[in-house]
């Protein structure tokens, strides 16, 4: 596709406005160049020119739709989707109504164009399930209406034989939410008559070809178009380009989509079949030339299908009922008259049914909610057509095209140029052909062709088509656009019949044959037939004819007048909307692809006014807007005009234009409007606006968010301050209470302190309690850790003196108890021994304190160290204790090392294997030690024992241990004496000496000059 797009770019010029020269030749050459490359679309500004390619082009896919969606008009190659999209987006942004005027002659591609646009909206608008059904219905209304309203003509195999204007309604979101169809003048005459090479409406052939056997049987039809007079006059019931059988299926399917139930569909096909049967009703003449019916079969089918009385129908088809003097007279018809009435009935039934169909479709696609909607209207009306023989229908159709051309001129060429003038924009007027003169010729009141025709129809007397022609000649004999056989010069006369009149339409000359003008304009149906139809059992027919009959008293308006007023209404309605144009061109007359008939194209380019349009476009301005509106939309794009412009709107717009960088020839300032020459300038502005809108929205959003956040913050802050002050208040109150309480407590405390000496009373009870508690608490943490610690006890306050003392005792007792409990049996023995030592020596011998910490042992000489002989001698006495000692001889005090062993009964002094002395405990009368820190022990032994030699002097390093053991073993506690100064020693009976003690620097033991043993002890420092 990408490459296809680039190809488009290269072939010719996409917008005629950009052509170098604005000649017809250049325009046609450009069209041709593009047509040859299948580029059928070209712009003149925003007008789309489309050339019918007569072949399927691959440019209408979903993909293509996506490409064009939301893209600026001139950014992509010309396409009908670009126009559709642009109309849609303009509608959304400006919230106004639009319409697309699709014009061109019959077969130029108008109907196809309108379908393409509808499809584009169906696919590209936002969708919901609900909307999809509305959309489907709108889309599916097309095949149904085409089946009933289109026919093959010489110009177009699918020619619209009715005018169609369809509104697509959009809500503010751009969703297609509903639609409405207006139909204009169906070419009913086709029901009964078709020119050579043409067909009746498609539906007849579709039914006969496609209807099921069953259905055909029910309707009394045969599967053979040739059987029906109404289908064979054109002699082309089958056409290669049309597949009636397939189309039948599509129509059946479409009928379902647009909610036609079986009853409705049944009635609809009964009407179609009844028309076919009517066409086959043939009359013969009786003797007087009056019409009579020989074969009733088809008539019976008609009466059967329409549910009317067969005899009554026959009567109405062959007699006219005339009311005279309260009597009814039946006047018989001639065959021709009967055929006329028959055809009139067929046309009326079909025509009414077509209108009913449109109404039914409108009911299903109508949007009933009342919210405001905008619309895009699609006008697809029969195109200008010229046949070999042109009748009333062509007159109406071409008149309609004349009116639409007039509308186009009004809206583009004329209005545009008038606007430039009114706005004071410098302007070189572009001359164009204004077809108003032709419109006036046709429709002017009292003077126009329509008036003349109506007059002839209504006037009493023998008015005929020819008298109508004469009247025309009288009235507009010298009108430049009107000519008749009689009025024409020789040359022209040759080309005309006597019953013709010729009009010089904007699109070319058309010669009309007046035959049938009056009848067709009168569209008469006799009352009795109408009444019969009102009683039809076919709901569609009875409904249609009853409503038609509502104002039966008044003479109904003629067909052309009705048509004229409906066109007037249409133009008024279109004038209120913004217009978009598609000009469809026929590439050739033979519906052939690839054929570009230059002459034909030139002709269309001319009469469609494309050249004039191009010139106006080139010289003019693509866009204009009232200053106020322009400013209102684009003011955010310039700081000087945003957010408010207080000055004149024009000045604001000027500032804006300068700020946007518009070049001087790109825009003009009119009296009330700004004119912008090129669409690209506007698109650039619009793009900037879109961006700015986005930025603004973001900014506003940010501002709003900020504002909200600020508000929130302020609220929070206020709340915080409030909470804070409340909290502070609460705190302060608490503080105050606390202080008041503290003052009370302190006062009480002081009071208590002052009165602490008194007995417990209200003033001091708490204080005392506090003192007590605090003392006890302190005491708890400062209790003496050992029994020996007598100093740590806290001094109690006076109230607790007694309790403290008790506690102290308790505590010590507890400690003792704990201590005692913790003592092992060995330790107990030790302590018992130490106790003994203490009771002997405490406070008496100087080095006693040192001994306290020295544990006592039972033996200081192992058994191995004691001589075996000695051991065996004393073993039986049990060795309790042994210690090495120094023994001082009694004679001379010589020191001798000895073992001192205590047994159960005696103490031994042992030297190697020799027991030097054995002292029985009984013989031991005393033991003396000094009060100093020496280790001298003197054993006083009784004289009674002859074996004893005298007192024993030893020096023992373990004096306290040794003596404690001895005192325990021999129970000699009380025998031990601590002596000061000297100890008397009996060496032999009767011979005494002494051991003298003193203190000195060095411990010494020596024999003094006085013969005494001198012991010098060092002073033991006491703690
Ligand atoms: N865009 C197109 N692409 C292909 N064929 C087209 C296109 N427009 C028209 N045609 C052909 O031309 C025929 C006539 O077109 P139609 O729209 O019915 O003409 P109009 O409504 O103007 O009388 C169509 O049946 C179709 O075959
Ligand atoms: Mg058409």
> Nearest-CA neighbor of 540 among 273, 350, 344?
350
CA-proximal residue: ligand 1, atom 14 (nearest): 107
666 has pLDDT over 90: no
Length of the chain: 1023
In angstroms, the CA 17 to CA 620 distance is 10
* pLDDT for the residue numbered 554: 67
Give me the catalytic one of 187, 270, 385, 612. 385
Task: Please compute the mean of the pLDDT values over residues 213-218 and round it to a whole number.
Answer: 96
- Mean pLDDT to the nearest integer, 582-588: 96
pLDDT band at 652; cut points 50, 70, 90: very high
Model confidence pLDDT, tens digit, residues 38-86: 999 999 988 999 999 999 999 999 999 999 998 877 778 999 999 999 9
Query: Would you call the peptide bond into 643 cis, given omega within 30 degrees of 0 as the criterion?
Result: yes
Q: Is the pLDDT of residue 353 over 60?
A: yes
Distance from residue 107's CA to the centre of ligand 1 (Å):
6
Question: Which pLDDT value is given to residue 752?
Answer: 84
Is 31 within 8 Å of 601 (Cβ atoms)? yes
Provide DSSP, 105-120. STTSSHHHHHHHHHHH
Cα separation, 614 vs 608, in Å, equals: 11
pLDDT at 1: 38
Please give the C-alpha separations between residue 996 and each of 200, 844, 933, in angstroms, as whole numbers.
175, 17, 13
Q: Where does the pLDDT of residue 9 fall: very low under 50, low under 70, confident under 90, or very high at 90 and above?
A: low
Model confidence at 947: pLDDT above 50:
yes
Mean pLDDT of the 2-18 span: 65
Arithmetic mean of pLDDT, 384-406:
92
pLDDT tens readout for residues 669-702: 999 989 888 777 887 888 888 888 888 788 888 8
- More confident: 507 or 683: 507
Return the residue matching tokens 């804006």: 656
Please tell me which of 59-68, 777-786, 818-827 the model is most confident about, judged by mean pLDDT: 59-68
Most confident of 513-522, 750-759, 948-957: 513-522
Question: Is 209 annotated as catalytic?
Answer: no
Cα pseudo-dihedral 179, 181, 182, 188, rounded to 10:
180
Residue 930, C-beta contacts closer than 8 angstroms, at least 6 positions apart:
845, 936, 978, 979, 980, 983, 995, 997, 1015, 1017
> What is the rounded distance in angstroms from the CA atom of residue 394 to the CA atom of residue 931?
169
- Kindly report the protein residue whose alpha carbon is nearest to atom 6 of ligand 1: 54
d(CA 35, CA 960): 146
What pLDDT score was predicted for residue 3?
Answer: 39
What region does 103 belong to: left with phi over 0, alpha with psi -120 to 50, or beta? beta
In angstroms, rounded to a whole number, what is the distance separating the alpha carbons of residues 236 and 444?
Answer: 40
pLDDT (0 to 100) of residue 2: 39
What is the pLDDT confidence band of residue 759, given thresholds at 50, 70 and 90? Answer: confident
- Yes or no: say if 95 and 172 are a contact pair by the CB < 8 Å rule: yes
Q: How far is CA 820 from CA 495, 792, 816, 825, 828, in A?
A: 160, 21, 6, 11, 9
For residue 748, is pLDDT > 50?
yes
How much is the pLDDT for 601? 96
pLDDT band at 429 (very low <50, low <70, confident <90, very high): confident
Provide the angle, in degrees to the nearest 10, between the axes of the packed helices 244-257 and 129-149.
140
Catalytic residue flag (residue 178): no
Closest-CA residue, ligand 1 atom 8, reads: 109
Using one digit for the tens of pLDDT, what is the confidence trace for 224-235? 999 999 999 999
Pocket test for ligand 1, best of 35, 60, 78, 112 (most atoms within 8 A of CB): 112
Structure confidence by residue, pLDDT tens digits, 1003-1016: 899 998 888 999 99
Q: What angle do the packed helices 765-781 and 801-821 form, to 10 degrees?
A: 20
Question: Is the pLDDT confidence value at 368 over 70?
Answer: yes
Instruction: Give which of 196, 222, 194 is closest to 208, Cα–Cα.
Output: 222
Distance 955 CA to ligand 2 centre (A): 157
Over 90: is that where the pLDDT of 991 sits? no
CA Rg value for the chain: 71
Calculate mean pLDDT across residues 702-729. Answer: 89
Active site residue 159: yes
* Angle formed by the axes of helices 335-365 and 129-149, nearest 10°: 170
Does pLDDT of 555 surpass 90? no
DSSP 67-99: HHTT--GGGS---HHHHHHHHHHHHHHHT--EE
pLDDT computed for residue 552 by the predictor: 57
Higher pLDDT, 819 or 658: 658
**Which member of 106, 274, 511, 685 is catalytic?**
106
- At residue 948, φ and ψ (nearest 5 deg) are -85, 145
Listed ranges 308-317, 639-648, 793-802, 861-870; the one with the highest mean pLDDT: 308-317
- The atom of ligand 1 lying closest to the CA of 102 is 22
d(Cα 443, Cα 449) in Å, to the nearest integer?
Answer: 6
0.85 surpassed by pTM: no
- pLDDT value at 207 more than 60: yes
Please write the tens of the pLDDT for every residue from 86-121.
999 999 988 999 999 999 989 999 999 999 999 999
Q: How far, in Å, CA of 923 to CA of 951, rounded?
A: 11
Q: Quote the tokens at residue 530.
A: 């109408």
Strand partners, 380: 102, 164
- Span 271-296, average pLDDT: 92
Best residue for ligand 1 mutational test, from 42, 78, 107, 142 (most atoms within 8 Å of Cβ):
107
The percentage of residues in the chain with a pLDDT greater than 70, rounded to a whole number, is 98
Q: Which residues neighbour 725 within 8 Å (Cβ) at sequence distance 6 or greater?
A: none
Q: In what order do the strands lie in the sheet containing 500-505? A: 482-484, 500-505, 508-513
503, 469 contact by CB (below 8 A): no
Beta bridge partners of 897: 886
Token pair of 379, please? 């006008």
Calpha distance 402→609 (Å, rounded): 12
Instruction: Give the pLDDT confidence of 873-892 residue by residue, as tens digits.
Output: 888 888 999 999 999 988 88
pLDDT band of 130, cuts 50, 70, 90: low
Task: Clarify whether 106 is annotated catalytic.
Answer: yes
Give me ligand 1 centre to Cα 379, in Å.
15
Whether the per-residue pLDDT at 912 is higher than 60: the answer is: yes
225 and 237 Cβ atoms separated by less than 8 Å: yes
Q: How far apart are CA 600 and CA 598, in angstroms?
A: 5
- Ligand 1 surroundings by CB, under 6 angstroms: 52-57, 104, 106-112, 156-160, 383, 584
Tell how far the Cα of 112 is from the centroid of ligand 2, in angstroms. Answer: 7
Task: Tell me the C-alpha distance between 878 and 871, whole Å.
Answer: 10
Q: For residue 1023, what pLDDT is reported? A: 47
Per the DSSP assignment, residues forming a β-bridge with 504 are: 509
Most confident of 236-245, 352-361, 832-841: 352-361
Q: State the pLDDT at residue 416.
A: 77
Q: Which residues pair with 1007 in a beta bridge?
A: 1013
Close Cβ partners of 829 (under 8 Å, ≥ 6 residues apart): none
Q: Quick one: pLDDT band at residue 4, thresholds 50, 70, 90?
A: very low
pLDDT of residue 10: 62
Q: Are 825 and 911 in contact (CB under 8 A)?
A: no
Assess whether pLDDT exceeds 90 at residue 304.
yes
CA distance 154 to 386: 10
764 catalytic residue (yes or no): no
- The answer to whether 30 touches 43, Cβ cutoff 8 Å, is no
Confidence of residue 202 (pLDDT cuts 50, 70, 90): very high
Extract the tokens encoding 450: 């329509």
Q: Residue 305: pLDDT above 90?
A: yes
Is the Cβ–Cβ distance between 924 and 972 less than 8 Å?
A: yes
Known catalytic residue at 160:
yes
Question: Mean pLDDT of all residues in the chain?
Answer: 89
Structure tokens, 960: 């306290």
């Amino acid at each position: 596709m990408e490459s296809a797009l680039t190809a488009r770019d290269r072939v010719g010029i996409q917008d005629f406005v950009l052509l170098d020269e604005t000649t017809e030749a250049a325009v046609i050459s450009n069209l041709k160049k593009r047509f040859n490359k299948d580029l059928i679309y070209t712009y003149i500004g925003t007008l789309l020119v489309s050339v019918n390619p007569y072949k399927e082009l691959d440019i209408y896919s979903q993909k293509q739709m996506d490409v064009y969606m939301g893209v600026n008009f001139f950014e992509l190659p010309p396409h009908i989707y670009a126009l559709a999209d642009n109309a849609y987006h303009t509608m959304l942004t400006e919230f106004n109504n639009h319409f697309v005027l699709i014009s061109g002659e019959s077969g130029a591609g108008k109907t196809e164009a309108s379908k393409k646009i509808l499809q584009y909206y169906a696919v590209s608008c936002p969708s919901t399930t609900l909307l999809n059904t509305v959309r489907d219905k709108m889309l599916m209304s097309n095949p149904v209406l085409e089946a009933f309203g289109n026919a093959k003509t010489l110009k177009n195999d699918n020619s619209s034989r009715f005018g169609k204007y369809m509104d697509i309604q959009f809500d503010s979101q751009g969703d297609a939410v509903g639609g409405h169809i207006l139909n204009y003048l169906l070419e009913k005459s086709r029901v009964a008559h078709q020119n050579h090479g043409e067909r009746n409406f498609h539906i007849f052939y579709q039914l006969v070809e496609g209807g099921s056997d069953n259905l055909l049987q029910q309707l009394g039809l045969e599967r053979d178009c040739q059987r029906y007079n109404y289908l064979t006059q054109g002699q082309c019931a089958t056409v290669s380009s049309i597949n009636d059988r397939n189309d039948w299926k599509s129509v059946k399917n479409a009928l379902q989509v647009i909610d036609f139930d079986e009853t409705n569909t049944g009635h609809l096909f009964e009407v179609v079949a009844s028309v076919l049967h009517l066409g086959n009703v043939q009359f013969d003449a009786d003797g007087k030339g009056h019409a009579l019916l020989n074969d009733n079969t088809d008539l019976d089918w008609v009466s059967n299908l329409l549910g009317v009385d067969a005899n009554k129908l026959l009567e109405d088809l062959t007699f006219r009922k005339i009311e005279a003097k309260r009597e009814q007279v039946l006047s018989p018809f001639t065959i021709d008259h009967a055929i006329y009435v028959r055809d009139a009935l067929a046309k009326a039934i079909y025509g009414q049914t077509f209108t009913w169909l449109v109404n039914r479709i409108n009911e299903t696609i109508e949007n009933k909610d009342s919210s405001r909607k905008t619309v895009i209207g699609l006008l697809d009306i029969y195109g200008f057509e010229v046949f070999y023989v042109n009748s009333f229908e062509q007159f109406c159709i071409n008149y309609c095209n004349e009116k639409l051309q007039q509308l186009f001129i009004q809206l583009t060429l004329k209005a545009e140029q008038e606007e430039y003038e009114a706005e004071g924009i410098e302007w070189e007027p572009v001359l164009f052909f204004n077809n108003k003169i032709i419109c006036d010729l046709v429709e002017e009141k009292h003077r126009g062709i329509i008036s003349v025709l109506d007059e002839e129809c209504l006037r009493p007397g023998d008015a005929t088509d020819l008298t109508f022609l004469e009247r025309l000649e009288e009235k507009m004999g010298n009108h430049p656009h009107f000519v008749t056989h009689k009025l024409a010069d020789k040359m022209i006369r040759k080309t005309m019949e006597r019953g013709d009149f010729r009009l010089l339409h904007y699109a070319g000359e058309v010669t009309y044959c007046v035959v049938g003008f009056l009848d067709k304009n009168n569209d008469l149906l006799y009352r009795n037939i109408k009444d019969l139809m009102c009683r039809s059992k076919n709901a569609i027919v009875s409904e249609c004819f009853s409503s038609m009959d509502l104002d039966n008293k008044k003479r109904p308006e003629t067909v052309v007048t009705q048509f004229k007023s409906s066109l007037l209404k249409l133009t008024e309605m279109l004038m209120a909307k913004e217009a978009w144009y598609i000009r469809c061109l026929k590439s050739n007359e033979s519906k052939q692809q690839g054929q570009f008939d230059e002459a034909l194209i030139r002709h269309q380019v001319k009469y469609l006014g494309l050249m004039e349009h191009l010139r106006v476009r080139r010289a003019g301005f693509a866009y204009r807007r009232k200053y106020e509106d322009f400013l209102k939309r684009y003011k955010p794009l310039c700081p000087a005009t945003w957010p408010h412009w207080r000055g004149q709107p024009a000045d604001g717009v000027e500032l804006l234009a300068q700020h946007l960088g518009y070049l001087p020839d790109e825009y003009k300032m009119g009296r009330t409007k700004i004119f912008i020459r090129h669409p690209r300038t506007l698109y650039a502005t619009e793009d900037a606006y879109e961006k700015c809108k986005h930025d603004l929205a973001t900014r506003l959003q940010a501002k709003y968010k900020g504002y909200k956040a600020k508000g929130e913050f302020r609220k929070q802050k206020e709340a915080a301050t409030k909470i804070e002050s409340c909290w502070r208040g609460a705190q302060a109150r608490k503080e105050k209470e606390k202080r008041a309480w503290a003052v009370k407590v302190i006062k009480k405390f002081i009071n208590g302190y002052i009165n602490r000496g008194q007995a417990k009373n209200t003033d001091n009870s708490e204080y005392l309690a506090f003192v007590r508690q605090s003392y006890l608490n302190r005491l708890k943490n400062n209790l003496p850790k050992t029994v020996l610690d007598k100093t740590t006890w806290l001094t109690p306050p006076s109230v607790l003196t007694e309790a403290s003392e008790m506690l102290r005792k308790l505590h010590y007792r507890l400690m003792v108890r704990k201590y005692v409990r913790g003592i092992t049996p060995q330790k107990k023995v030790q302590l018992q021994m130490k106790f003994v030592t203490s009771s002997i020596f405490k406070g008496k011998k100087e080095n006693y304190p040192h001994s306290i910490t020295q544990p006592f042992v039972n033996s200081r000489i192992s058994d191995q160290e004691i001589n075996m002989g000695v051991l065996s001698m004393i073993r039986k006495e049990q060795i309790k204790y042994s210690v090495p000692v120094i023994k001082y001889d009694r004679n001379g005090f010589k020191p001798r090392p000895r073992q001192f062993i205590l047994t159960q009964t005696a103490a031994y002094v042992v030297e190697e294997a020799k027991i030097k002395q054995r002292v029985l405990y009984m013989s031991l009368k005393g033991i003396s030690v000094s009060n100093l820190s020496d280790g001298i022990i003197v054993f006083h032994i009784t004289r009674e024992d002859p074996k004893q030699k005298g007192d024993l002097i030893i020096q023992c390093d373990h004096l306290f241990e040794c003596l404690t053991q001895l005192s325990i073993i021999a129970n000699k506690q009380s025998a031990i004496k601590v002596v000061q100064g000297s100890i008397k020693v009996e060496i032999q009976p009767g011979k005494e000496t002494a051991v003298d003690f003193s203190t000195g620097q060095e411990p010494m033991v020596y024999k003094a000059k006085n013969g005494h043993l001198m012991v010098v002890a060092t002073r033991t420092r006491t703690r």
